[in-house]
Structures are given as C-alpha cells and as structure tokens.
Amino acid sequence: MHDIEKEIRESKSGMTMIVKTIVRFAMGIIILFGAYIVLYGHLTPGGGFAGGVILACGYIILTLAFGKDIALRKLSDQGASIMDNSGALAFIVIGLLGYTGGYFFLNFIDHGKRFELFSGGIIPLCNIAIALKVTASLFAIFIALAIFGKFISGLVEEEE
C-alpha cells in the first residue's frame, strides 16, 4: 500500500497536484453515492443503470486525474471484461431461476415488507447485476476510446 502511495505522489502522468488531491477526496464520495443509488434503486429514484454510470464516472475521473497506469491497476481492461460478463451472466441466471416457480423472470424470492432495504424479491439483485455490467462496460468503452484510440490516431507513438 505504501509503495502505491509513494508511486502516485511521484508519478508525473495525469493532471496537476490540485486535481489529484481533490479527486482523492471526491472518489470515495462518488463511489458511495453510486452504491447508494444502486442499492436503494427499488425504494428511491435511481437503479442499476444510473448507479452503474455514476460508478463508471468515478473510475473515469480516476483515469483522467492519475493517468492510465494507476487507473488500470485499480480496474484493468481484463478485469473490466470479467466484471462485465459476470454481471450479464448473473442477470440471466436470476431470470432463469424464475423457472423454479413457473416462468422466466418470476419474482421468486419473498417480497418482504414495503419500504425496507431487503424487500422487492429479485429486484435489488437484478439492480446489482446490472450495475456491475454497466460500470464495467462503460469504463471499458472509455478505455477503448481514450487509451486504445490514441494509437490509431497516430498522434501518440506506440509505446511497446
């Protein structure tokens, strides 16, 4: 952990010290807000898609402020693709589990009390699956456009 801190402080990539400091404070709040929007999606406005986009924005801010090396260490493109696929698989598996009671996407879990966090059956689980998927895929699209795309435009020479 200490090595990463030192490396972040010494690395020249990314934006200035002011941006890096503010992003370090704001990052936790952004992730917390995104998680709140996802987990309370069945009670208050929001849901898996909106919360997932907020989480993806958090990672994108990290990429813009600290440069691609440190951001890709937090969530690499391989990791993003695994997260994307597991989210999609989880969503489909939840749908298929509905066949235990009759049909596709049956809300087979007990609905619980209204206005409670653990209520709504499969809906919070679906929200979490979609949030995983949206976070990973939007971050992956950003990586592809901003980092891979540089090599295509020819403005930046290939590193390897």
Partner 1 sequence: MDLFLLILLVFMIIGSVIAIETKNLLSSVISVGVVGFSLSIMFLMLGAPDIAITQMVVEILILVILIRATITTDNTAIERHADTFSVISSLIFFGLFLIFAFLAVHELRPFGEPLMRVSKTYLATSAEKTGATNVVTGILLDFRAYDTIGEATVLFTSVVGAFVILRRRGRKHKRESDTEKVGILEDADIKKDFKGF
**Contacting residues for 7 by C-beta, under 8 A, at least 6 apart:** 70
Residue 3 C-beta: closest distance to partner 1, Å: 27
Sites of contact with partner 1 (CB under 8 A): 37, 41-50, 53-54, 56-57, 60, 64, 77, 81, 84, 88, 91-92, 95, 104-105, 107, 111-112, 114-115, 119-123, 126-127, 130, 133-134, 137-138, 140-142, 144-146, 148-153, 155-156, 158
The neighbour count for residue 129, using CB atoms within 10 Å, is 23
Q: Which residue is associated with the tokens 């849901």?
A: 47
Distance in Å, CB of 21 to partner 1, minimum: 20
Tell me the closest approach of the beta carbon of residue 111 to partner 1, in angstroms.
3
> Which one, 4 or 96, has the nearer CB to partner 1?
96
Task: State in angstroms the smallest separation of the CB of 103 from partner 1.
Answer: 11
Task: Work out the angle at residue 132's Cα, subtended by the Cα atoms of residues 126 and 136, and round it to the nearest 5 degrees.
Answer: 150
Which of the 8 DSSP states describes residue 142? H
Whole-angstrom CA distances from 12 to 1, 68, 84, 149, 150 are 19, 12, 31, 22, 19
Beta carbon nearer to partner 1, 8 or 108:
108
